[in-house]
């Protein structure tokens, strides 16, 4: 969506077009800065799983097997305890930023396009996972890699795709993935809900856990335009001339709310996580919340004031 109003020059409302390859070095630097800021004071994505290294004791829950009970620890308490071991196998995280033309939108309320923010968050998420010793891969791209240069390899792959004239889709690619891996999808998710669900279902059916990060420009949430405004579709070129843009606001917001609810429902049915992020907010704020979700702490971390405090602190450092 782009617009032109009588009172606001169009050049002040959208970022001049830049090729992805041209922007990638700056986006890599920004992603590294955001990742390093968020990484300060947090721990890696340790989790329970097959392995020999002791991780923690936790109280017995319904569904736990009797062989997992640590009887010595339980004997000193009124509760039964499970002895959990840390998963030693390197985890694989697939990232996918939506690079379709519609993601190039930026209003006067934000400094970044949706595409640039999606790339920064994807790279920063990958860097945090890489620091924890995990393998990182671009969904639909080359084999996942580990180490400090994994993100650079993904950036080079994306640049080659653009230079080869690849038409980027607004839906995740139908890639073949290994079971028990995880993916994070960054997009505005404005396609028809049934198409979004079919695409995500293809991933989930392979035993892959997913995380959806829906990215909006602040203007897409509020439609803050008044008077005579022309709206033009970035991808299809369609145009709509509104005599009074404010008269469209309520119907537009109702439709957007329905779209967000549909995407949230897709995530719920697949038992995936969902997060909404606005480009007017600091990238570090979204990254911290996403890291919390990926670390498996969201069930008890999100409900406390600590996530708000940490997010606010991170936002101040990254602003």
Q: Give the confidence band of 22 by pLDDT, cuts at 50, 70, 90.
A: confident
Q: Give the confidence band of 6 by pLDDT, cuts at 50, 70, 90.
A: very low
Q: Cβ(281)–Cβ(316) under 8 Å?
A: no
Q: How far apart are CA 150 and CA 252, in angstroms?
A: 41
Bigger pLDDT: 146 vs 283: 283
Q: Give the confidence band of 293 by pLDDT, cuts at 50, 70, 90.
A: confident
pLDDT of residue 314: 47
Q: Cβ(48)–Cβ(84) under 8 Å?
A: yes
Could you give phi then psi for residue 211, rounded to 5 degrees?
-140, 125
Using left for φ > 0, alpha for ψ between -120 and 50, and beta otherwise, residue 85 falls in beta
Q: Give the confidence band of 131 by pLDDT, cuts at 50, 70, 90.
A: confident
Q: What is the pTM of this model?
A: 0.74
Instruction: Tell me the pLDDT tens digit for each residue of 98-110.
Output: 999 999 999 999 9
- Who's near 206: CB < 8 A, 6+ residues apart? 176, 177, 178, 179
Q: Quick one: what percent of the chain has pLDDT higher than 90?
A: 48
């Amino acid at each position: 969506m782009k617009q032109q109003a009588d009172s606001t020059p169009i050049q002040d409302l959208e970022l001049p077009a830049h090729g992805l390859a041209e922007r990638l070095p700056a986006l890599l630097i920004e992603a590294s800065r955001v990742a390093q800021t968020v990484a300060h004071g947090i721990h890696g994505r340790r989790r329970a799983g097959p392995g020999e290294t002791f991780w923690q004791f936790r109280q017995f829950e319904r569904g736990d097997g009797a062989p997992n009970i640590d009887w010595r620890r339980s004997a000193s308490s009124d509760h039964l305890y499970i002895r959990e071991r840390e998963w030693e196998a390197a985890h694989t995280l697939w990232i996918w930023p939506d690079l379709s033309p519609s993601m190039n939108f930026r209003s006067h309320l934000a400094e970044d396009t949706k595409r640039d923010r999606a790339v920064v968050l994807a790279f920063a998420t990958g860097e945090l996972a890489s620091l924890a010793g995990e393998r990182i891969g671009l969904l639909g791209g080359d084999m996942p890699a580990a180490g400090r240069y994994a993100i650079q390899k993904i950036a080079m792959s994306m640049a080659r795709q653009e230079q080869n004239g690849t038409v980027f889709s607004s839906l995740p690619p139908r890639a073949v993935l290994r079971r028990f891996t995880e993916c994070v999808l960054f997009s505005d998710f404005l396609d028809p809900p049934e198409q979004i669900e079919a695409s995500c279902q293809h991933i989930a059916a392979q035993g892959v856990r997913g995380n959806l990060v829906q990215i909006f420009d602040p203007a897409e949430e509020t439609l803050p335009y008044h008077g005579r405004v022309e709206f033009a579709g970035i991808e299809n070129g369609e145009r709509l001339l509104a005599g009074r843009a404010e008269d469209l606001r309520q119907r537009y917001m109702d439709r957007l709310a329905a779209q967000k609810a549909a995407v949230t429902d897709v995530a719920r049915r697949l038992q995936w996580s969902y997060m909404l992020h606005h480009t007017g907010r600091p990238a570090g704020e979204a990254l911290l919340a996403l890291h919390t979700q990926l670390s498996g702490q969201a069930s008890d971390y999100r409900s406390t004031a600590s996530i708000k405090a940490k997010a606010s602190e991170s936002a101040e450092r990254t602003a």
